[in-house]
Amino acid sequence: MPFKLSHTQALGLMVLATLLWSMAGLVSRQMTHAQGFELTFWRSFFTLVSLTLLLPLLKGRQLLRELPWRQKTFWLSGVCWSVMFTAFMLALTMTTVANVLITMAVGPMLTALLSRFVMKKQLAAHTWWAMLVAGLGMAFMFISQVKIEDGQHLKGMMVALCVPLAGAVQWNVVQHLQASEQPADFMPAVWVGALLSSLYTAPLALPGSASSADLAWLAGLGLFQLALPCLLAVWAARVLKSHEVALLALLEVLFGIAWAWWGAAEQPALSVLLGGVLVLAALALNEAASWRVTNE
């Protein structure tokens, strides 16, 4: 990236990144033929193509020489990204956008919990309370979906839960292991994730039945919904504090539900809204409390 961002510019880029991320649910509802693994494959494939073009432009010709091919954390990070890419789009074909996004919103809580048991970090009392409230919200959502359409929504939410689980591993285990290795820029691990996700899903997706319109939408997702916002978020995170990034990332849930409600007439169930309010309130209050503590 050519210049250092100001704090205001970083905030703006992070909001833009969440806005772009949030469009996946709306776009997935525009598909006429592609569904399931086929939809997942094409988004990952177009993300791979986009990053193959964008990363050399950002990193220069030395990109391949500087990649940490021998670091196990680099490959672990790539696997985590691949799980997130695959599970997210598959979940969108199984349940509502609101169910997927609110399930994913528990990521900060899972990350904190994993850091307690893997990295042996002590958690503040307000974090434990936030996890309890968020857990109650998630339990309410999950229980309300058990008997709906033979549990299809519940299955979709369980698949969506793989996204924050993989994210928790990404931000904890990778960080922990990298401490014993030479620090490296792991943005290219996103490229590895897109490659692995494409390989996972290709046998189940091809030859497929996607129309030309479907492919155009999915190409847009690969570039504008995933590759570009990932780069923007990494750039913004160099300036923003971790608490700011976590709080701003919650905007994806609000934006995504609003897009699907407005553009696809997908109105979330009352139980999802109530459970989601508990989850988002717990996360926001926890991040605000953590921010206040670190600035005292």
Q: What is the pLDDT of residues 27-72, one digit of tens each?
A: 888 888 878 889 899 999 999 999 988 888 877 766 767 677 777 7
Who's near 25: CB < 8 A, 6+ residues apart? 92, 97, 100, 101, 256, 259, 260, 264, 266
| Cα–Cα distance measured from residue 94 to residue 119, given in angstroms and rounded to the nearest whole number | 34
| Cα–Cα distance measured from residue 227 to residue 45, given in angstroms and rounded to the nearest whole number | 11
Structural element, H or E, at residue 255: helix 251-264
Do residues 97 and 25 lie in contact, with contact meaning Cβ atoms separated by under 8 Å?
Answer: yes
Q: Would you state the pLDDT for residue 45?
A: 95
Q: What is the pTM of this model?
A: 0.82
Tell how far CA 150 is from the center of its chain: 27
Is the pLDDT at 2 greater than 60? The verdict is: no
Who's near 191: CB < 8 A, 6+ residues apart? 48, 51, 52, 55, 78
DSSP tag of 227: I
| Cα–Cα distance measured from residue 279 to residue 135, given in angstroms and rounded to the nearest whole number | 7
Question: 85: closest CA among 154, 24, 126?
Answer: 24
What percent of the chain is predicted at pLDDT more than 70? 84
Q: Would you state the pLDDT for residue 159?
A: 92
More confident residue, 106 or 244: 106
Q: Would you state the pLDDT for residue 43?
A: 92
185-213 per-position pLDDT tens digit = 667 888 999 999 999 999 988 887 888 89
| Cα–Cα distance measured from residue 20 to residue 22, given in angstroms and rounded to the nearest whole number | 5
Dihedral sign of CA atoms 60, 61, 62, 63 in order = positive
